[in-house]
Structure 1
Amino acid sequence: MDSANIETVRAPVAKADVNALIGLTAADMIKVNSLITARMQSEVPVIPALADHLIAAGGKRLRPLLCVAAARLCDVRNDNHHRLAAAVEFIHTATLLHDDVVDSSSLRRGKVAAHLIWGAPSSVLVGDFLFARAFELMVETGSLRALDILSKAAAVITQGEVLQLMKAFDLNLSQADYIEIISSKTAALFSAASESGAVSAGASEDRITALYSYGLNLGLAFQIQDDVLDYQGDAADLGKNAGDDFAEGKSTLPLILVMQATKGSEDAFWARTIGERKQQVGDFAHAQKLMIKSGALEQSRAIARGYADKARAALSIFDPGAWRTALENLALFSVERQT
């Protein structure tokens, strides 16, 4: 679709707001949250306590919202989308528990990371428990296709996380490598959420494909903005420490672009802080200044906006209406949010 057509899709709704989507999905999400609460129960007390620590902390719930919205956009007539949305949230929460252990993160959703309270082994095992619950919910829908979509997404997410781990502190990571990583570790669950929602509604193949594309591009835009915020956000707003990506040596898009822009003048700085893993007080502040001066943050935002435009364009197959508008606004929100 050319830029003129994309602008036609964008023109009616220029509002980066998720409130309409939250309102539209409110009744569905009550049922989804009830399923989540019920299915994280266990006779082993640490399991619900640890799971609730993270789930009750809130978060945006964008992935289950996306599953529900996709189903409603496709005129769903059953309640399988509730189970799939709960499964999506369990998969997401499980990956967060595992990630925080791998990254030694201290904060998640504004709370002390679970592994610092209950220990790494418990966090990993409760993550495994949530994965198992997710698969139970998928099976209960009786949809082999939905099971196929979400189970493959879970595998792809893990591969993406391993790839990112292997590429940490890599000064030569390309933009293409970065997109491959975030397509797997983030966008895969967004696309699986929207695609499985459409499948639960018995949507036509062209609509399923459109919602897969929407979710994929939304996820890419969302992750790039997340990586931008790591260099300019506030811990109170982010719910995690700003600068974690820098400290962990993650070659995110802003870092890739700033290293390209400062090649020659700042090579020694990047080699020490990223390549040699030798960071000291003041290094992150210097990196932030370079990000701003070089335009790397704004360039990253522009790339994110391009993916958001693709997400919105994918919805052109659907008739105008409240659900389509809410999803278009979600794409805008993904790149304009500050949390």
Structure 2
Amino acid sequence: MDTLIELVSKDMAAVEVLLKERSTSAVATIPDMSGYLISAGGKRLRPLITLAAAYAAGGEGSNPLHCLATAVEFIHTATLLHDDVVDESDLRRGKKAAKMVWGNSASILVGDFLFARAFTLMVETRSIRILDILSNASCVIAEGEVKQLAAIGRADLPISEYMEIVEAKTAALFEAAARAGALTVVTEGAESDGLAEYGRRLGRAFQLVDDALDYDGTTSVIGKSVGDDFREGKLTLPVLLARQNGDATERAFWDRAMDVSKQTEADLDIAIDYIRKADSVNATLNAARDEIASAKAALSVLPPSPYVDALSDIADFVVDRAF
């Protein structure tokens, strides 16, 4: 990511200032909690893509673009606060999850505040189309989280439904960030469509890699506890493929163990063994590589530039971070 970070370093500095300024409030819990999560860093991948998409489409840094990139990061941060409550996660970005420090109620409410801040920033772009794109993406993300919640414990979840969840809860914001970034420069057309498809495919790959790392990563890499998805009964591609390729004994295990009320302490180790036997982590990473190939192909509609090259490199990074 170093090349892209260097290319948009001045813009990201402006975004960081906006993140701090717009998370202030007279209610002390709001800046304390938002600052806690924002200062933890993260890759800032979504605002980086927003900025790079604008430059790749022929634009340059501007206040509306900085507001847009900040809004994208606030939406992402708000979803993290909400997700940690729903998922009962203890770690986020390698630190205690905010809800472990301030509690569930405060996490939900501060998440709501950050969503609201995102919308005020969208308005400052002075673009109804950008407001439409990001507000629609916010609805889709919420729908994706509800779909995932409804699918908890369903060991027979069709892979097509799993991919619909991935598309909604993760890919939608990547797609919106890339399309909206382009539309700060160009009108609707091949460039914005190509960048949107790039973002969609990148987001799908990002989630597939996350799901693979939950069974074959380390806490220092993924920033949360290994096996969280399993303990929460979340059906992800490594599990779905292992169950699909397993024998009757293995399928019976998955049908029981993905019901969190029936899990035992030994089940995670058994699950990892079955996943390794089925080689479903590698299969998941291969699926992510296919998405990355499609993402990079979508950039072909853009004129060559260092920003297009950097977006291509970012796509490779999404899979390479698994190693």
TM-score scaled to structure 2, two decimals? Answer: 0.97
The equivalent of 2:145 in structure 1 is: 161
| Deviation sequence 1:223-273 (CA, Å, 0-9, x none) | 000000000111122110000000011110111000001141312211221
* Percent of aligned pairs sharing the same letter: 48
Which of 97, 110, 117 in structure 2 is aligned with 1:113? 97
Tell me the SS of whatever aligns to 1:187: helix
Between stretches 123-132 and 71-80, larger displacement belongs to 71-80
Match in the other structure for 1:291: 275
CA distance in 1, matches of 2:74, 2:266: 38
TM-score (norm 1): 0.93
Aligned counterparts of 1:172 and 1:261: Cα–Cα separation in 2: 12
Structure 2: which 5+ runs fail to align?
A: none
1:265 counterpart SS class: helix
Gaps of 5+ in 1: 1-17
Which of 213, 230, 236 is the matching residue for 2:214?
A: 230
Which residue of the partner structure matches residue 271 of structure 1? 255
Shift of 1:203: 4.5
Distance in 2 separating the partners of 1:330 and 1:236:
20
Change (3 A) 1:188 1:194: same
Distance in 2 separating the partners of 1:234 and 1:282: 19
Deviation per residue, 1:95-147 (Å, 9 max, x gap): 00000001111000011111111111111000000000000000011100000
Question: How far has the Cα of 1:219 moved from its partner?
Answer: 0.2
Which of 116, 122, 142 is 1:132 aligned to? 116
Does 2:315 align with 1:326?
no
Residue number among 188, 191, 199 corresponding to 2:172 in the alignment: 188
Q: Give SS of 2:261's match.
A: coil
Given the alignment, which residue of 48, 57, 75 partners 1:65? 48
**CA drift at 1:319:** 2.1
Specify which structure has the bigger relative contact order, considering alpha-carbon pairs within 8 angstroms and separated by 6 or more residues: 1
Decide whether the 8 Å contact of 1:157 with 1:184 is kept in 2. yes
Whole-Å separation in 2 of the counterparts to 1:229 and 1:219: 15
Tell whether 2:299 aligns with 1:337: no
Matching residue within 178, 199, 219 for 2:183: 199
Instruction: Tell me the equivalent position of 1:150.
Output: 134
Q: Equivalents in 2 of 1:49, 1:201: separation in Å?
A: 35
Q: CA deviation at 1:222?
A: 0.5
Deviation beyond 2 Å, 4+ runs, structure 1: none
Which of 146, 149, 163 is matched with 1:179 structurally?
163
Following superposition, the deviation at residue 276 of structure 1 comes to 6.0
Partner AA of 2:16 in structure 1: N
Match of residue 15 from structure 1: none
The one-letter code of the counterpart of 1:31 is A
Give 1:204 deviation, angstroms: 5.0
2:59 maps to what in 1?
A: 76
CA RMSD of aligned residues (A): 1.2
Q: Is the 8 A contact 2:299 2:308 kept in 1?
A: yes
Distance 2:284 2:94 in 1: 25
